[in-house]
Amino acid sequence: KQEVTQIPAALSVPEGENLVLNCSFTDSAIYNLQWFRQDPGKGLTSLLLIQSSQREQTSGRLNASLDKSSGRSTLYIAASQPGDSATYLCAVPNQAGTALIFGKGTTLSVSS
Amino acid sequence: EAQVTQNPRYLITVTGKKLTVTCSQNMNHEYMSWYRQDPGLGLRQIYYSMNVEVTDKGDVPEGYKVSRKEKRNFPLILESPSPNQTSLYFCASSPFGGDYGYTFGSGTRLTVV
């Protein structure tokens, strides 16, 4: 059964730092991997979707990479800002394509 | 704007009083699903639907019902809510599930007292 793990669970950095969030999954036979952002008590906003045939995706200051063979994805945030403070979740579809399997998330705090 | 709309955003109710949380998407997606999010347990799937009139159980379906009479709507029904159903609920849709990304609604914070 697919399991998704995110490390660290929480991260605090000063404004301006570049940082990396990690996501690992146990079954490498995935369709894709999606990164989401969640503000406290709010909805899930999709940040990046990486298809299984891709190695990385970029959107503004965000870059997500995918290494299926090692079961890992990283989300790189450049020049972090206080507005980046949120919980970041990664998710992969299950084998049947009927559900998303989520990690527990990394809660990021960026101080000014 | 392409979106998934849930209503209400916040709801406080009493044990046993039937309620419905609505979900609507305007992207003509085939697939829709409901999740609940609880501290320490993360997001867990309640029910999903691959198409109109086709629904199936997720990981935590007990105490919930759904229906999919039209492609755009996928309401979540709690016929007799209990305090352990206090949670943050999310509706999601995807063109076909699996190969495509998912779009989530803004969430419904439900409190059952």
The alpha-carbon gap from A32 to the nearest alpha carbon of chain B, in Å, equals 7
Strand boundaries in B59-107, DSSP class E = 65-66, 76-78, 87-94, 103-104
Q: Which residue, among A23, A34, A98, A101, would best test binding to B if mutated, counting the most B CBs under 10 Å from its CB? A: A98
Is any Cβ of chain A less than 8 angstroms from the Cβ of B86? no
Cα A36 from Cα A12, distance rounded (Å):
19
Residue A41 scores a pLDDT above 90: no
Res. B83 pLDDT band, cuts 50 70 90: very high
Q: What is the mean pLDDT of chain B?
A: 95
Is any Cβ of chain B less than 8 angstroms from the Cβ of A97? yes
Maximum separation of any 2 CA atoms in chain A, in Å: 44
Res. B7 pLDDT band, cuts 50 70 90: very high
SS3 state at B59: coil
Cα B47 from Cα B62, distance rounded (Å):
10
Residue B98: per-residue pLDDT: 63
Contact A97 B45 (CB under 8 A): no
Residue A40: per-residue pLDDT: 86
The alpha-carbon gap from B108 to the nearest alpha carbon of chain A, in Å, equals 9
The string of pLDDT tens digits covering residues B17-44 is: 999 999 999 999 999 999 999 999 999 9
The answer to whether A109 and A11 are in contact (CB under 8 A) is yes
Mean pLDDT of A87-105: 94
Residue A7: per-residue pLDDT: 92
Mean pLDDT of B82-109: 91
DSSP state of A16: T
Mean pLDDT of A54-70: 95
The answer to whether A4 and A90 are in contact (CB under 8 A) is yes
